[in-house]
């Protein structure tokens, strides 16, 4: 058995809904590059998920290319990983239909994100919005992924994928691997800089609440200077200090210093100094990403070469899975 075949498989996808936030980066994307050393990695820009809410077609195409360039800029090497655009591989949608027949209506109705998005988009509660967790399960199970790097808020969807896989295995015999979550110990959930009890989101109406990974240094520092903290003056990590806890988590993640060491370093300094230090550390950490992104996004031919090759690899892997699934459920062989 070759070294590659002995490696566990990781799958992860991200929606092309504009520039990634610092939360996307810390919670998931920054971990993707190092994983290539140890695992067989498959990464996708999941544009099919994006259309569960209304999209401007021109902007969706633009955002999809930008997202693809960004994951490469964040460390994904297309010669070491399978990196592709989801809609370029029709096997995801085909498998999703079969898996939907092993998914219970009640399971989908309990999905927190369906409830949240239904409230936000009350004029367009479409069937895709309801069933897209099945497509997410198909994304993962098509590759029999062992691990899925996810933020803490995606655990419910991964649990559904495990349930659907288990139910399929019970009906038709063991086939699908039950995927496990890969959640970083630190920084799995980055909170809003303005409402630190809420997750950082690019859709936040307050532009100071969210740091985008392509923000310039001055913008990043300005946003951190305006970060909400508390009425105390002690820099420490404890319950009730959501703003400072969030800043400590971010600073620890980008500097790789322990929380205890950071608290010690800033023991005689005020919140203002600390917020500037966090902003500078984040900006410096993201500088290589911004530089590499500008280089990649200006080379459309190279991007196309990479995502075309990635899709070919993804189709080859998933067609084998889908053919076996079709045989198991009783479909007549096409050839």
Q: Annotated catalytic, 320?
A: no
Q: Annotated catalytic, 199?
A: yes
Cα–Cα distance, 329 to 331 (Å, whole number): 6
Helix axes 91-100, 300-329, angle to 10 degrees: 30
Closest to 39 in 3D by CA, of 70, 77, 69, 71: 77
Structure tokens at 263: 């608290």
Q: Annotated catalytic, 117?
A: yes
Query: Which of 117, 223, 241, 275 is an active site residue?
Result: 117
Q: 84: part of which helix (H) or strand (E)? A: strand 82-85
CA 86 from chain center: how many Å? Answer: 14
Query: Which of 199, 223, 241, 275 is an active site residue?
Result: 199
Query: Which of 7, 189, 202, 309 is an active site residue?
Result: 202
Helix axes 271-297, 300-329, angle to 10 degrees: 90
Helix axes 155-172, 112-120, angle to 10 degrees: 130
Cα–Cα distance, 69 to 72 (Å, whole number): 5
Please list the active-site residues.
Answer: 117, 199, 202
């Amino acid at each position: 058995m070759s070294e590659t075949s002995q490696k566990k498989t990781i799958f992860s996808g991200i929606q092309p809904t504009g520039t990634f936030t610092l939360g996307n980066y810390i919670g998931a994307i920054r971990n993707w590059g190092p994983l290539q050393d140890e695992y067989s990695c498959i990464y996708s820009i999941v544009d099919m998920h994006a259309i569960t809410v209304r999209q401007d077609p021109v902007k969706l195409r633009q955002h999809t290319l930008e997202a693809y360039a960004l994951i490469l800029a964040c460390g994904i090497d297309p010669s070491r990983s399978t990196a592709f655009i989801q809609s370029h591989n029709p096997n995801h949608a085909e498998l999703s239909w079969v898996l939907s027949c092993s998914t219970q209506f009640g399971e989908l109705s309990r999905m927190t994100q369906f409830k949240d998005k239904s409230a936000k988009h009350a004029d367009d509660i479409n069937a895709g919005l309801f069933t897209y967790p099945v497509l997410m399960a198909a994304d993962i199970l098509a590759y029999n992924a062992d691990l899925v790097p996810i933020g803490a808020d995606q655990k419910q969807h991964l649990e559904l994928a495990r349930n659907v896989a288990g139910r399929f295995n019970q009906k038709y015999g063991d086939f699908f691997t039950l995927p496990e979550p890969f959640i970083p110990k630190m920084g799995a959930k980055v909170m809003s800089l303005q409402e630190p009890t809420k997750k950082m989101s690019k859709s936040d109406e307050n532009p100071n609440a969210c740091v985008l990974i392509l923000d310039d240094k001055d913008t990043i520092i300005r946003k951190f200077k305006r970060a909400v903290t508390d009425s105390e003056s002690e820099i420490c990590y404890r319950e009730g200090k959501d703003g400072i806890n969030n800043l400590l988590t971010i600073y620890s993640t980008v500097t790789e210093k322990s929380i205890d060491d950071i608290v010690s370093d800033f023991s005689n300094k005020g919140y203002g100094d600390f917020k500037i230090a966090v902003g500078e550390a984040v900006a410096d950490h993201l500088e290589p990403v911004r530089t590499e992104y500008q280089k990649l996004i200006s080379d459309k031919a190279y991007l196309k070469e990479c995502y075309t090759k990635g899709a070919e690899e993804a189709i080859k892997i998933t067609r084998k899975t889908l053919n076996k699934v079709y045989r198991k459920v009783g479909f007549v062989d096409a050839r």
